């Protein structure tokens, strides 16, 4: 008999956990040193991350978190604290750098791609945070993102779906200029207007509008295809099929966790948890 539960498909393997553990353990040590640590029993940080990934991957509501995880209020408090204190972003950035190194790319990208995706929202999203994308006929929110040419996330902005790609693009340029100063070229679609190019010029970024070749029907790979693949990666995580988050910053955090899940798998070449229930031995004659 063993008290260890069978693993969920979303659980981290030992190798994937090794990528994340140093960062969350350092965070816990800093809190303990500052005497603001958690009193009483200390929860297993790996199980906290597993619970977050379970929500992200399955799309379950927090109150439906299985009981063999820590209490949902505890898991959510870690989730919110890691977002607020930059731990989630630190994990994401560390894995992105490692993934680029694995792909034999420079740690800092020199070119990037921008695009936007409108998604429907759930009923708990405030009406003021929603809008209608007139082109796609979708009421909800819009995810404005920038990726590198591996499809790895560099920047994300969450707005109402009624906000134009151009307005979101200007915000993305500002973020890229500050957080990724190595980026010199940004590819955008033909829905981005002149003001994005001008914002890029002011920041020292060459914004290049790319278009689908004339006369080509159906799918045609272009230089911007990597960002479309990233949107496809998002929808592998059911929590991102819609926007369920009351706060836009929580929606950004769910996107970061989806990329943490994906990059950790790419880095280890493993998608299945290594922890398994022990083999049952039949001692009967």
Domain presence at residue 50: no
Q: What angle do CA 160, 260, 112 make, to 5 degrees?
A: 65
CATH number at residue 148: 3.30.420.10
Domain presence at residue 234: yes
- What distances in angstroms separate CA 33 from CA 26, 28, 46, one per listed residue? 10, 9, 21
Q: What is the pLDDT of residues 181-229, one digit of tens each?
A: 999 999 999 889 999 999 999 999 999 998 766 666 665 667 788 999 9
Structural domain for 184, as ranges = 106-244
Burial 165-187 (b: 16+ CB within 10 A, else e): bbbbbbbbbbebbeebeebeebb
Cα separation of the two ends of the chain: 20
**Exposed / middle / buried, residue 222 (Cβ in 10 Å: 0-12, 13-18, 19+):** middle
The distance between the two most distant Cα atoms of the chain, rounded to a whole number of Å, is 81
Q: What is the pLDDT of residues 238-280, one digit of tens each?
A: 999 999 999 999 999 999 999 999 999 999 997 544 444 433 3
Average pLDDT, stretch 96-101?
98
Give me the number of domains the chain comprises: 1
Contact 116, 167 (CB under 8 A): no
Domain presence at residue 172: yes
Beta pairing partners, 207:
186
Domain presence at residue 92: no
Q: What is the pLDDT of residues 17-74, one digit of tens each?
A: 999 999 999 999 988 887 655 555 579 999 999 999 999 999 999 999 999 999 999 9
Domain presence at residue 67: no
Residue 99 scores a pLDDT above 70:
yes
> pLDDT: is 109 or 217 the higher one?
109
* Run of H or E including 23: helix 14-33
Domain presence at residue 219: yes
Sign of CA dihedral 219, 224, 226, 232: negative
pTM passes above 0.85: yes
DSSP state letter for 105: -
C-alpha–C-alpha distance, residues 186 and 171, integer Å? 13
pLDDT value of position 276? 44
Average pLDDT, stretch 168-185?
98
Domain presence at residue 17: no
Q: DSSP letters along 151-172, please?
A: --EEEEEEEETTS-HHHHHHHH
Domain presence at residue 284: no
- What distances in angstroms separate CA 112 from CA 5, 121, 220, 285, one per listed residue? 43, 28, 19, 65
């Amino acid at each position: 008999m063993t008290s260890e539960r069978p693993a969920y498909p979303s659980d981290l393997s030992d190798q994937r956990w090794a990528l994340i553990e140093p960062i969350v353990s350092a965070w816990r040590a800093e809190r303990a040193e500052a005497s603001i640590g958690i009193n009483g029993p200390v929860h297993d940080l790996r199980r906290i991350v597993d619970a977050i990934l379970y929500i992200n991957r399955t799309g379950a509501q927090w109150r439906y978190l299985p009981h063999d995880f820590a209490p949902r209020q505890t898991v959510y408090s870690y989730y919110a604290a890691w977002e607020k204190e930059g731990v989630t972003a630190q994990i994401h950035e560390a894995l992105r750098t490692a993934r680029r190194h694995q792909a034999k790319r420079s740690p800092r990208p020199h070119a990037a791609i921008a695009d936007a995706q409108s998604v429907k929202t759930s009923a708990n999203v405030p009406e003021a945070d929603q809008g209608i994308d007139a082109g796609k006929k979708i009421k909800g929110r819009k995810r404005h993102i920038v990726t590198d040419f591996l499809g790895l996330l560099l920047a994300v902005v969450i707005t109402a779906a009624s906000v134009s790609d151009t307005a979101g693009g200007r915000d993305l340029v500002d973020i890229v200029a500050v957080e990724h100063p190595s980026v010199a070229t940004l590819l955008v679609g033909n829905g981005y207007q002149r003001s994005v190019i001008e914002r890029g010029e002011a920041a020292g970024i060459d914004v290049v509008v790319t278009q689908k070749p004339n006369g080509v029907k159906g799918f045609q790979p272009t230089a911007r295809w990597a960002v479309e693949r990233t949107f496809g990666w998002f929808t592998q995580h059911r929590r991102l099929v819609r926007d369920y988050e009351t706060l836009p910053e929580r929606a950004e955090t769910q996107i970061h966790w989806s990329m943490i899940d994906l990059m950790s798998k790419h880095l280890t070449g493993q998608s299945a948890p290594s922890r398994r229930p022990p083999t049952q031995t039949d001692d009967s004659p």
